[in-house]
Structure 1
């Protein structure tokens, strides 16, 4: 099924229901208007020479045009290539050149960039400026929906490259459909819900469910710099019921709302992804959403959703274990998803073998399979080989994370595989180690790093307004000696503000930190 069909069928049955509201301007569009816009854009794109099966770079800011463009490309079988512009110029240009796009629909700044880097963009023969979209709306309609099979590519979504080179993940129409079904089922979403997405691509799922989606008053490329007052106003004005995005967003909103003594009565679900969610954030958010709950689904660009945990249950059942260094519980797998723990390896594993499996409560490498797991990276056979394990007629995806399954089959996340340290005292997992230091009342967060000899050290970011001193350093070293997980750490560094990933502004860049303090590349496992 073409993923665009879900939206089109809903629109034809519910033409007067509001589809999108731009909370920045109060402009809106109904599902009927959106469907008509999609049909006219489709006709214009085909007239310009865009062809089904071709690849098109899409660099369009959140707007009433963005969703229409994405679903237009889906509808006529064109493959949108979505690359995070925040990944840095070098990675961005490399990703564009690697993808070899046939066309481009983009903001003016990207067109100007293409003039300076002609070789990178040379394959994109058809170029559309965002200002052209208004002209398209006066054209005829194209009503036919491209016929696709479940293995046909629908889009190429790039990873952020937080622990290596950004990779294009091939999404099929089948994957998109299954993900939409699973997300709707997990959260009990209906067309009566109102979505405020901190990550724009998430709104593609909710629109396909018939939900009203907001374009929030924020720059999605800088979630950690959002204005919480504006987002609070958006939630209250439009009575958002489902809000999602990076913990970097919702920690700011929670702090603002608590100080302003605000309650969001309409919110039923706060869904956070991009990094482990601290128990303190679950607690703070639950205090301001009296009719809702918080969620931290586990997944990645290559595979989502996989597991689900909710804040109320976590605070009642796992907070002590997490604080003591057991990792972050991310819940049990959803229906249709299998999760296993295997021996940690940085080499390719061609076929699954039972001898690779770890016992319950033993830390290893997390692997997953199911209908929401993507099969391949775009034109990257070596990366695909490293990340997939054949198992009969199926395959497993290697998440690049380490963790374990407990006796109740709950998955505990312990960090990125590339960030582990094989120290003289054994495996050190960042999430476990950092939890010990995070219990100090003056610590905001911490990061495990090591030198080229795999000797561990800890970097501390203090709470706002606090300054490091020798007494505090001694307290932290004493804290390290109090746990077997951290007893080998003898170096403590301080940093005013941790470097973080470009997409969610929350994942700590431990590789950059290690370079800062040891002037060396820390992690030999970085792929």
Structure 2
């Protein structure tokens, strides 16, 4: 059940296969890089695990982990698993105040980070009351703590990786907090094992493929799947600002077969592909998750791919992933037209391993799943899921756990996604928006994705946001639009007003740019827009 065992298995079956490629700089012939085999990565992670044990860091210890994608990132993460520790992952881009709050909540005893992170920890007082040990990748601050180089010299002789139980905590992954407070999701070893299996089988990933992951946590699947990881030289906290020409160069030079990117990154990349007439025939699949993918993005990527290749949009959340999936070629046509007509966004069929229910919308906790009432077919409700990747609690967040989890008569945990949607007559799920972002007027309830779909289909509209002003039950709906670059926003007001008239929306506003989440640069922060309009 320990995901680190999957890395060791790859080191046995393909010891000299390339696990990591770290491009350093462009050359006349392509890229200069550093490469590491599966055997090298596995041996390094074992030495680091032994070093952790020799430093007195015991199984079950919570370890804050702030190392950017690199050899050290992969080696240390698998070392923590081998040592039985519990890494705590927090997106550094969520902001200094939320970051400090998350670290205080997680109470890590060990802090592993690059020098910059260690300085910030000291200056800003991160986890001051709990951190007892530090390990620094790079120069140490004031010569305090242990150096990564020292840890790397761990003596393998006598080191035995502790056995883990499938129910043992494996990691704490904090949500982005894009529609609420960031929460630490407790992952058990069985959750990671199930994720690797579901991702591999759902997308038919094969050992020996080459992956270009632009979202660091997803890259951790690669060594377990036997895939080669190419780490792009980019700012991972700003995926929308990525250099698309650099990505194209990496894809072509390293014969990349799998690309993972947020919808914002895919928008940037596909615009570049279209503008320059570039095709990417070597790609087998593209994955995009974290927020809905606009139909225009799907259409653009299709023009760059071979007919046998496709883009897939897995649906899920930090608390359970993947839940459902749909291919881009299925989305185009009728399903994309459904989005433009206000039906929401189709996120596909639930994976066979999952059970999905759509229940009546409620903001109250539901302890027993049997108390939740299913809605009628085609009716919009709250999406709930039970399956092997469904986590069962938030760390030190009992109220949020009660609000998001249900238990059925068989003792199985169901996660309430906090998403609204419906199922069509072919069993496909349609996403209609976040429950917390629905607009409740005196006459009706409006759902973000249903209203925004027809608006986003208007030429000149880059994206839109439905928000409600006032108290729930008496809210005034407002549609806010962000124009395409170079488009005069005043020319969009009347077409948008016509598109939303059926919902009784009269007020249309424009903004030069929307506030979005840091992790994916794609989830619109509608609460901030509403506050700005109030």
* TM-score band w.r.t. shorter chain: over 0.9
Q: How does 1:146-185 map to 2 (within 5 A)?
A: 146-185=162-201
Q: Which residue of 1 aligns with 2:439?
A: 421
Q: How does 1:54-133 map to 2 (within 5 A)?
A: 54-118=61-125, 120-131=127-138, 132-133=147-148
CA distance in 2, matches of 1:138, 1:209: 27
Q: Answer whether contact 1:36 1:141 (CA < 8 A) is retained.
A: no
| TM-score, structure 2 normalization | 0.94
Q: Which residue of 1 aligns with 2:28?
A: none
Q: Answer whether contact 1:96 1:121 (CA < 8 A) is retained.
A: no
After superposition, give the CA deviation of every residue in 1:125-156 in whole Å (9 maximum; x if it has no partner): 11010123233333422652221111101100
After superposition, give the CA deviation of every residue in 1:222-245 in whole Å (9 maximum; x if it has no partner): 111111011111111111101112
Query: Does 2:515 align with 1:499?
Result: yes
Q: Which residue of 2 aligns with 1:406?
A: 424
Q: Which residue of 2 aligns with 1:475?
A: 495
Q: Which residue of 1 aligns with 2:464?
A: 446
CA distance in 1, matches of 2:419, 2:433: 6
Q: Answer whether contact 2:390 2:413 (CA < 8 A) is retained.
A: no
**Which residue, out of 340, 351, 370, partners 1:334?**
351
CA distance in 1, matches of 2:218, 2:362: 32
Superposed displacement of residue 120, structure 1 = 2.9
CA distance in 1, matches of 2:7, 2:484: 45
Partner of 1:305, secondary structure, is strand
Q: Which residue of 2 aligns with 1:137?
A: 152
CA distance in 2, matches of 1:293, 1:287: 10
Pick closer, same or farther for the CA change 1:174–1:472 going to 2, 3 Å: closer
Superposed displacement of residue 316, structure 1 = 3.4
Query: Does 2:58 align with 1:51?
Result: yes
Query: Does 2:298 align with 1:278?
Result: no
Q: Which residue of 2 aligns with 1:361?
A: 378
CA distance in 2, matches of 1:456, 1:404: 22
Partner of 1:497, secondary structure, is coil
Superposed displacement of residue 40, structure 1 = 1.1
CA distance in 1, matches of 2:127, 2:168: 26
Superposed displacement of residue 354, structure 1 = 6.0
CA distance in 2, matches of 1:355, 1:387: 13
Query: Does 2:315 align with 1:294?
Result: no
CA distance in 1, matches of 2:56, 2:185: 26
Partner of 2:515, secondary structure, is coil
Pick closer, same or farther for the CA change 1:239–1:168 going to 2, 3 Å: same
Q: Which residue of 2 aligns with 1:508?
A: 524
**Which residue, out of 443, 446, 455, partners 2:476?**
455
After superposition, give the CA deviation of every residue in 1:388-414 in whole Å (9 maximum; x if it has no partner): 011111121000100011111110000
- Matched residues, number: 513
Stretches of structure 1 lacking an aligned partner (at least 5 in a row): 519-527
Pick closer, same or farther for the CA change 1:5–1:441 going to 2, 3 Å: same
Superposed displacement of residue 479, structure 1 = 2.7
**Which residue, out of 178, 191, 201, partners 2:217?**
201
Query: Does 2:39 align with 1:23?
Result: no
Superposed displacement of residue 509, structure 1 = 0.6
**Larger displacement relative to structure 2 (376-385 or 43-52):** 43-52
**Which residue, out of 24, 28, 41, partners 1:34?**
41
Q: Answer whether contact 1:331 1:412 (CA < 8 A) is retained.
A: yes
After superposition, give the CA deviation of every residue in 1:256-276 in whole Å (9 maximum; x if it has no partner): 122222211111110000111
Partner of 2:376, secondary structure, is coil
Superposed displacement of residue 194, structure 1 = 0.6
Superposed displacement of residue 355, structure 1 = 6.0
Pick closer, same or farther for the CA change 1:472–1:3 going to 2, 3 Å: closer
Pick closer, same or farther for the CA change 1:458–1:348 going to 2, 3 Å: same
Partner of 2:347, secondary structure, is strand
Q: Which residue of 2 aligns with 1:240?
A: 256
Partner of 1:248, secondary structure, is helix
Pick closer, same or farther for the CA change 1:267–1:340 going to 2, 3 Å: same
Partner of 1:330, secondary structure, is strand
Q: Answer whether contact 1:217 1:231 (CA < 8 A) is retained.
A: no
Q: Answer whether contact 1:217 1:234 (CA < 8 A) is retained.
A: no
Superposed displacement of residue 478, structure 1 = 2.4
CA distance in 1, matches of 2:110, 2:450: 46
CA distance in 2, matches of 1:255, 1:196: 19
CA distance in 1, matches of 2:206, 2:493: 52
CA distance in 2, matches of 1:468, 1:199: 33
Q: Which residue of 2 aligns with 1:347?
A: 364
Superposed displacement of residue 425, structure 1 = 3.1
Query: Does 2:408 align with 1:388?
Result: no
After superposition, give the CA deviation of every residue in 1:74-117 in whole Å (9 maximum; x if it has no partner): 01100000001111111100000111111011011221122223
Runs of 4 or more, structure 1, over 4 Å off, are none
Stretches of structure 2 lacking an aligned partner (at least 5 in a row): 26-32, 139-146
| TM-score, structure 1 normalization | 0.95
Query: Does 2:484 align with 1:466?
Result: no
Q: Answer whether contact 1:342 1:367 (CA < 8 A) is retained.
A: yes
**Which residue, out of 242, 258, 262, partners 1:226?**
242
**Which residue, out of 415, 421, 424, partners 1:397?**
415
Q: Which residue of 1 aligns with 2:341?
A: 324
Pick closer, same or farther for the CA change 1:14–1:493 going to 2, 3 Å: same
Q: Which residue of 2 aligns with 1:373?
A: 390
